[in-house]
Structure 1
Amino acid sequence: MAASSPAGYLLVLALVVPVIGLLGMSVTALIGLRRVEFVAFPVLVAGLAVAGAIATTVAETGEALTYVVGGWAPPLGLALRADGVSAVMLAMAALVVALVALNARALFCADDATPDGRRAFAFWSLLMGLWSALNLVLVGEDLFNLFVALELLTFAAVPLVCLDGRAATLEAALRYLVFALIGSALYLLGTALLYGRYGTLDIGTLRELTQPDLATHAAVALMIGGLMAKAALFPLHIWLPPAHAGAPAPASAVLSALVVKAPFFLIVRLWFDVLPGPPSLPAAQVLAGLGAAAILICSVVALRQERLKLMIAYSTVAQIGYLFLMFRLTAEPGVPAWQTIGWTGGMLQLVSHAFAKAAMFLAAGMIAEALGHDRIAELAGAGRAAPVSVFAFGLAGLSLMGLPPSGGFVAKLLLLNAATLAGAWWIAAVISVGGLLAAAYVTRVLKRAMATPPAPLATRPVALSRELTALTLALVAVALGLVPLQPFELLAIGRP
């Protein structure tokens, strides 16, 4: 029977701490404490500490953390596991959730006896549930339990889209739910095929058992297809822009920064840990081709948007496309994927995009609060009304454009180098054109925001403390540019 790591209990804490916060909110509401955010913030501090401890332990030991649930090792029991990539994503998720929560406190702080208070209770409860489900996706090893985690993540994310109860956001949430359920059905069907073929769903065990036969490839193809719908990869993206643009800014930040990364993370696990033998180059070309289409088409669509939040939402779909280029750029014969610069570039793009996009949505929300709208053509004066938010938006835009010294610059440079080394010139061209298109839609917003308004504006003040949360996220996205231009050892820890 496999043994848990000495610090394996940290993985359990990563799942349990947000749940404790959720239960605490319910109890305090029942006994009359109406301000549930007071329960949320100690939980956020504890969750940050746990995620930091996991990342530190994995980095210091150079080994993945493992926890065997109940002492029953797979395939009879369940295991939790955090390798280098999982540790980085756990820390990323904790930091994004904490900063978004700080920003959201002023919006969701009403007494529970009022309609706004019930909305606040829903937001904080859903945020805790979403965080726990996301952590389970990142450390789970059983494919069926990962299905459960994805469903929990979906059912926490969908209500965040329609917190305001407007007809448009309800419609967007229902569209999101339909796509998510279709993706779940495909994923579950593939899981059933794998279980029927091998009698286990533990990823570590499947790594040793899977054979290159039709049943295995069909099962993984179904699962990846379902996860592509959940990740909003072009052309399965039509649910994302209205859902993310219509949600409150803090909810949009969490949805675009974190929720769409969970299905991509599982695609990576299936591709590199479940599929037998070296990945298929034609299949990798298909995923990269869809990613390239997302970059080009959705960047052009983002450039034509009239609303700021809708532009950022289409930008999310475009930036997700860069992640799928990684499957082609890690397919070097005889070289493990995690020892390539394509692997480091893809993972760094994932992390830097999360911080940049969270910063952008928070900044856009505060600009809209200051001006009373988010129409791009009428943003003149935003630079004076919310200067820190506009500055944060511009800093985050550096990462989307791929300009130094941002993390997006390093990520896209690594992907560009990997494409050149692999002879994939079309990918190199897409990365270059995508950066130019991102520069076009970011500078379009900044140009309007810095313009002098034709008449004095009636603006509402935005708290500096809230603007600083967006600025902090943007600064983290820029600071990631200090990652060395080579395969990053932390991201290879725990790989077979």
Structure 2
Amino acid sequence: MPHLIDWEVVAIMAPLLGALAGLVMPRAAAGIGIAAVGLTTLAVAALSWAVTTQGARMMALGGWGAPLGIDLRADGLAVMMLAMTAGVGLCISLSALAGQRARPAAGRPGVFWPLWLLLLAGLNGAYLSTDLFNLYVMLEVISLAAVGLTVMGGGAAALRAGFEYLMASMLGALLFLLAVGFVYLRFGRLDLMGLADLVTPGDPAMAGVLALMLVGLALKTALFPLHWWLPAAHASATAPASALLSALVVKVSLYIVLRVGQYLVPPTEGLVLLVGLAGGAAMIWGGIQALRAERLKLLVAWSTVAQIGLIFVAFARSGAAGTAESWKAAALLMLAHAVAKAAMFLAAGRIKDEVGHDEIARLDRSPVRPTLAQFTFALAAISLIGLPPSIGFAGKWLLMEGALAAGYWHWVALTFVGTLLSVAVFSRVMVPFLRFDRQRGPVGEHQGWALADAPPLVLALASFGLGLGAAQILTMLEVGEPFARATGAVLGGAP
């Protein structure tokens, strides 16, 4: 029975048309943006319900399916990423709207909303794509919007960070496109599920193609040692833009790594070990640099480098033979990072707005205590550290459980080291800022409460609600067998 409404198309076209409308009518950009984000959220909710109740969905655009046409597929993994993007994006949108109303001169809605909606269209398109070239196109759409969001704040630092981001993104895209070209020359098609039946495990040529893809995606994801552009880019942008970049943009490349590893080339033991070592190095280096950071947003940005490393460790935690379960741990950690990091960047922005700066050494001297933002920052830190009952804890528990079952104690040790560094990093902010030792005058306990505090608080609380529902999320991830390749099943069309 044909679908009455193609929610996949609505999820992509609603923000894309909204971006065009916001560009043409900049004075109405905020209203158009909220309406487009709301419609996209409804479409994602409807699509999630359909997939949960009826199974994975496949639709061919214009009636032309692969390999000649374009297929869109929604399974449990894609739906989780779409729902994560919609929920986090809606909260960031509301926070941006509240901030722009409070500071109209600084809001720049005519710039922010078209870029954000273009980014949203690219994100949803990437999660629904089943074709390597379409993934490349969506990556470029996302990068274009992300660079624009990075430089939106203005100033020399933002422009420099945006230029570095652009260079890294272009190089990563070039490597990915070269790999796509090699795949097409060899097989004459680019749809992932068709390629899954053609690729021979152990093919040395495909190993080289996979290496090109991984390096390109590692650049876009900022995996150590290819992370140089991320801290400055995320720290220099405005708070809503930083939340979008850290919570959502870096997840796309992680998602593509996951899909390519499952559909195209099953990872080898050596590759899994290399990815895990790079992830472990990112956890340690990112944590050390966060401890040295002088500004609050820079600290949060460096913690993103460390958290990306943790997700790559999750990829490797069971070895090549256990990748099906490893991907589930990585998916939970991706969700945990998106929700908590968006809350943390928005809270850091609120702290900077109310205190007047974000220099960590001087935060405890401020007579202004933006208590709701502080509380939100602390809740987000709990999830990123991985304490129960947050979704971050569920992801780390699954990671360590699988590593212990496989006998890989080194991944458990790395995870513990990364966790201790996270505790030290966030304690460095929260302990002095919650104490009043260096403030000699009266302390404004309840200053800084505003409507803009609500969205990050909702996100921080959601990280705990998602933790309590982690079992249901894992069940949803299995809809449509997105991990079937790792278990030896043949991937075909949606049921």
TM range (shorter): over 0.9
Q: Aligned in 2, Cα 1:454/1:21: closer, same or farther, shift over 3 Å?
A: same
Distance in 1 (CA, whole Å) between partners of 2:170 and 2:258 is: 21
- Structure 2 equivalent of residue 106 of structure 1: 98
Shift of 1:356: 0.3
Which of 240, 247, 252 lines up with 1:250 in the alignment?
A: 240
Matched, 1:429 2:417: no
Task: Note the alpha carbon deviations across 1:406-464, whole angstroms, 9 max, x for none.
Answer: 11111101101111111111100011111111011111111121121424489896452
Q: Aligned in 2, Cα 1:457/1:122: closer, same or farther, shift over 3 Å?
A: farther
CA contact (8 A) 2:371 2:447 kept: no
Distance in 1 (CA, whole Å) between partners of 2:186 and 2:10 is: 34
CA contact (8 A) 1:80 1:140 kept: yes
- Structure 2 equivalent of residue 219 of structure 1: 209
Q: Percent identity?
A: 39
- Structure 2 equivalent of residue 141 of structure 1: 130
Kindly report which structure 2 residues correspond to 1:78-117, keeping only aligned pairs within 5 A, or say none: 78-109=70-101
Shift of 1:483: 3.3
One-letter amino acid of the structure 2 residue matched with residue 404 of structure 1: P
Q: Aligned in 2, Cα 1:443/1:144: closer, same or farther, shift over 3 Å?
A: same
Helix, strand or coil: the match of 1:319?
A: helix
- Structure 2 equivalent of residue 16 of structure 1: 13
Which of 395, 398, 409 lines up with 2:382 in the alignment?
A: 398
Shift of 1:204: 1.1
Matched, 1:58 2:51: yes
- Structure 1 equivalent of residue 278 of structure 2: 290
Which of 309, 314, 337 lines up with 1:326 in the alignment?
A: 314
Distance in 2 (CA, whole Å) between partners of 1:80 and 1:443 is: 44
Kindly report which structure 2 residues correspond to 1:201-280, keeping only aligned pairs within 5 A, or say none: 201-211=190-200, 212-275=202-265, 278-280=266-268
One-letter amino acid of the structure 1 residue matched with residue 47 of structure 2: I
- Structure 1 equivalent of residue 298 of structure 2: 310
Task: Note the alpha carbon deviations across 1:146-174, whole angstroms, 9 max, x for none.
Answer: 11110010000001111122011100100
Shift of 1:142: 1.2
One-letter amino acid of the structure 2 residue matched with residue 467 of structure 1: D
Distance in 2 (CA, whole Å) between partners of 1:414 and 1:175 is: 35
Alpha carbon RMSD of aligned pairs, Å? Answer: 2.2
Q: Aligned in 2, Cα 1:368/1:252: closer, same or farther, shift over 3 Å?
A: same
One-letter amino acid of the structure 2 residue matched with residue 190 of structure 1: A
Q: Aligned in 2, Cα 1:134/1:7: closer, same or farther, shift over 3 Å?
A: farther
Matched, 1:72 2:64: yes
Q: Aligned in 2, Cα 1:215/1:270: closer, same or farther, shift over 3 Å?
A: same
Distance in 2 (CA, whole Å) between partners of 1:83 and 1:286 is: 29
Task: Note the alpha carbon deviations across 1:332-380, whole angstroms, 9 max, x for none.
Answer: 64x6x43x2x333211110011000000000000000011100111111
Q: Give the TM-score normalised by the residue count of structure 1.
A: 0.92
- Structure 2 equivalent of residue 127 of structure 1: 116
Distance in 2 (CA, whole Å) between partners of 1:258 and 1:462 is: 27
Shift of 1:491: 0.8
Q: Aligned in 2, Cα 1:279/1:451: closer, same or farther, shift over 3 Å?
A: same
CA contact (8 A) 1:378 1:448 kept: no
CA contact (8 A) 1:84 1:493 kept: yes
- Structure 1 equivalent of residue 486 of structure 2: none
Matched, 1:413 2:397: yes
One-letter amino acid of the structure 1 residue matched with residue 247 of structure 2: A
Distance in 2 (CA, whole Å) between partners of 1:6 and 1:376 is: 53
Which of 482, 491, 496 lines up with 2:468 in the alignment?
A: 482
Shift of 1:296: 1.2
Shift of 1:7: 6.1
Q: Aligned in 2, Cα 1:300/1:7: closer, same or farther, shift over 3 Å?
A: farther
Matched, 1:42 2:43: no
Shift of 1:5: 6.1
Distance in 2 (CA, whole Å) between partners of 1:139 and 1:383 is: 49
Task: Note the alpha carbon deviations across 1:235-259, whole angstroms, 9 max, x for none.
Answer: 1001000000010000000000000
Distance in 1 (CA, whole Å) between partners of 2:11 and 2:74 is: 11
Shift of 1:115: 7.1
- Structure 2 equivalent of residue 301 of structure 1: 289
- Structure 1 equivalent of residue 328 of structure 2: 344
Helix, strand or coil: the match of 1:80?
A: strand
Distance in 1 (CA, whole Å) between partners of 2:150 and 2:381 is: 24
CA contact (8 A) 1:383 1:449 kept: no
**Higher mean displacement: 182-191 or 472-481:** 472-481
Distance in 2 (CA, whole Å) between partners of 1:318 and 1:383 is: 32
Matched, 1:493 2:479: yes
CA contact (8 A) 1:194 1:215 kept: no
Helix, strand or coil: the match of 2:197?
A: helix
Task: Note the alpha carbon deviations across 1:78-102, whole angstroms, 9 max, x for none.
Answer: 1011111110110110111111111
Q: Aligned in 2, Cα 1:383/1:138: closer, same or farther, shift over 3 Å?
A: farther
- Structure 1 equivalent of residue 149 of structure 2: 160
Distance in 2 (CA, whole Å) between partners of 1:449 and 1:208 is: 57
Distance in 2 (CA, whole Å) between partners of 1:36 and 1:313 is: 28
Number of aligned residues? 479
Helix, strand or coil: the match of 1:81?
A: strand
**Higher mean displacement: 374-383 or 149-158:** 374-383
CA contact (8 A) 2:269 2:320 kept: no
Q: Aligned in 2, Cα 1:146/1:347: closer, same or farther, shift over 3 Å?
A: same
Distance in 2 (CA, whole Å) between partners of 1:16 and 1:240 is: 29
Distance in 2 (CA, whole Å) between partners of 1:160 and 1:456 is: 39
Distance in 2 (CA, whole Å) between partners of 1:282 and 1:128 is: 40
Helix, strand or coil: the match of 1:164?
A: coil
Q: Aligned in 2, Cα 1:382/1:97: closer, same or farther, shift over 3 Å?
A: farther
Q: Following superposition, which runs of at least 4 residues in structure 1 exceed 4 angstroms of deviation? A: 114-117, 381-384, 457-461, 484-487
Distance in 2 (CA, whole Å) between partners of 1:314 and 1:439 is: 14
